[in-house]
Amino acid sequence: MSNEVSSTPESQPKMEAASSGNASAARADNIKLFVFGVLGCLVLVLIGVFAIGAYRVYAKTDSDPFTMFIAKTFRLPAMKINGDTVSYVDYIGDLHAITTMRAYDKTNNGPGASLTDQEMSDQVLIRQANNVLVAEGAQKYGVTVSSSDIQNVVQQDLLSQFKSESEANQALEARYGWSLAQYEQNVVKPYALENNLAQKVQADPALRAVVKAKAQSVLDQIKAGADFATLAKKYGEDGTAQNGGDLGWFGRGEMVPQFENAVFSLKKGELDQNLVESPYGYHIVKLVDTKTEKAKDPTTGKMVDKELVRASHILFLYPSVDDYLNNLLKVSSIHVYIHVHNPFPDLIASVASSTAAQ
C-alpha cells in the first residue's frame, strides 16, 4: 500500500483558509513591527531634541526660541529653593528685563549702566530667591496680596510719576521691555506681598520678645557700669549709633510721645531704669542735660521760656522683614542648576557675618 495521502476536494478549502490566516497574521505582525519602529524612532528623536535643549539650557544658558520652547514645555528649573522651583523661563525673562535696563541706562547715564553680565545674573537669581522666601513667609503667616494692594502700589509709587497710564507703559517698555501689566505681575505683586508680610513680621510677639530681650540685656550691662556711648555704637540701629546715641537738643513735640514722655520725666544725667517702647522699637534712654531758652510761642507770638533737653538713646528696632528673610536664607537649601555664577554662598556668608556682629 502507498503511504502518500492525496488531497481530496473536501480538504482543499481548509488548507487555503489556513494559508490565508497565516498570511494575515504575518501582515499584522509586520504592521506592529513597523508601528513600534516608527514610535521607537520618534522616541529617540524626542530624546535627542530634549537632550539638545537641555544642553543649551544648562551648559550654554541660551535664550533662542528653540531653547525656550524646550524649557517651557518640560518646565526646566533654573534653581530650586527649599523644594520650590524657579523656572528657567522666569530666569531668562528677568535677565532680559535687566539687560534691557542696562542698555537704557547706558544711553541715559543711569545707575545700571556699569552692571556686568555676572552682576545682572546674580541680581536675577537673588530676586527670584527672595520672591520664593517671601512666599514661604506669607504662607506661614497667612498673608495674601489682593488686587487692591497691587493697584495701591501702582497708583502711589508708579503712575504718580507719569501723566498717564499710556506714558507709564511707554516708559516701562523702554526701560525693561515690559508692559504695565507685566510689570505689575513681575515686580509690583511680589513687592506688595513683601510689604504685607513685613507688617505681620513686625507685629509678631515672639520676634518682638527676642528684640526686647536683647535690649534688656544691654540695659542691664549699662546698669552694671558699661559705657553707654560704647554700647550705643555697637548695638544702636539708627543714625545716632555712630555718635554714641546722641540725639542733640530738642523740645516737647519734636519726638514721638512715648519717647518724649520718658525723657522729660528724667533728671539730668539719669538713665531710665526701664526700656521705653515706641512705634519704632525699644529704647534705652539717658537724659544728658537740660536748659531753658527764649522762644516764640507759635500760638500767641510772644517770647516764652522753652525747656530743652539733650538725650542719648540706643534703639533696638522691631523685627524687620529683611532680618526675617535673611534668617530664612541662612537655613535654606539652594541649588543653582544653570551654568552661571552662584551668588548664594557669598551672600549667606555675608548675612551670617553681619548677624554675628550684632
Report the distance separating Cα 91 and Cα 337, nearest Å.
12
Question: Exposed (0-12), middle (13-18) or buried (19+): which is 16, by Cβ within 10 Å?
Answer: exposed
Residues in CB range of 218: below 8 A, 6 or more apart:
231, 235, 284, 314, 316
pLDDT at 50: 81
Using alpha carbons, list the distances in angstroms from residue 305 to 68, 262, 265. 74, 21, 18
The angle formed by the CA atoms of residues 212, 218 and 220, to the nearest 5 degrees, is 100
Closest to 46 measured CA to CA, from 69, 62, 64: 69
Beta partners for 111? none
Closest to 245 measured CA to CA, from 284, 272, 211: 284
Closest to 95 measured CA to CA, from 176, 173, 191: 176
What CATH class has 217-318?
alpha beta
Q: Are 120 and 98 in contact (CB under 8 A)?
A: yes
Strand runs (DSSP E) across 226-302, as ranges?
A: 246-250, 276-277, 281-296
Q: Is 32 helix (H, G, I), strand (E, B) or coil?
A: helix
Residues in CB range of 329: below 8 A, 6 or more apart:
129, 133, 344, 347, 348, 351
Report the distance separating Cα 76 and Cα 64, nearest Å.
15
Report the distance separating Cα 255 and Cα 270, nearest Å.
19
Which pTM was predicted? 0.81
Closest to 271 measured CA to CA, from 256, 285, 257, 252: 285
The b/e string for 257-274 (b: 16+ C-beta within 10 A; e otherwise) is eebbebbeebeeeeebee
pLDDT tens by residue, the chain, 358 residues:
444 444 455 555 555 555 565 666 666 666 766 566 666 667 676 788 889 989 999 999 999 999 999 999 999 999 999 999 999 999 999 999 999 999 999 999 999 999 999 999 999 999 999 999 999 999 999 999 999 999 999 999 889 999 899 999 999 999 999 999 999 999 999 999 999 999 999 999 999 999 999 999 999 999 999 999 999 999 999 999 999 999 999 999 999 999 999 999 999 999 999 999 999 999 999 999 999 988 777 777 787 788 999 999 999 999 999 999 999 999 999 999 999 999 999 999 998 877 766 6
What pairing do the DSSP bridges indicate for beta strands 77-81 and 84-87?
antiparallel
| Residue 211 CA, distance from chain mean position | 23
Closest to 283 measured CA to CA, from 204, 219, 230: 219
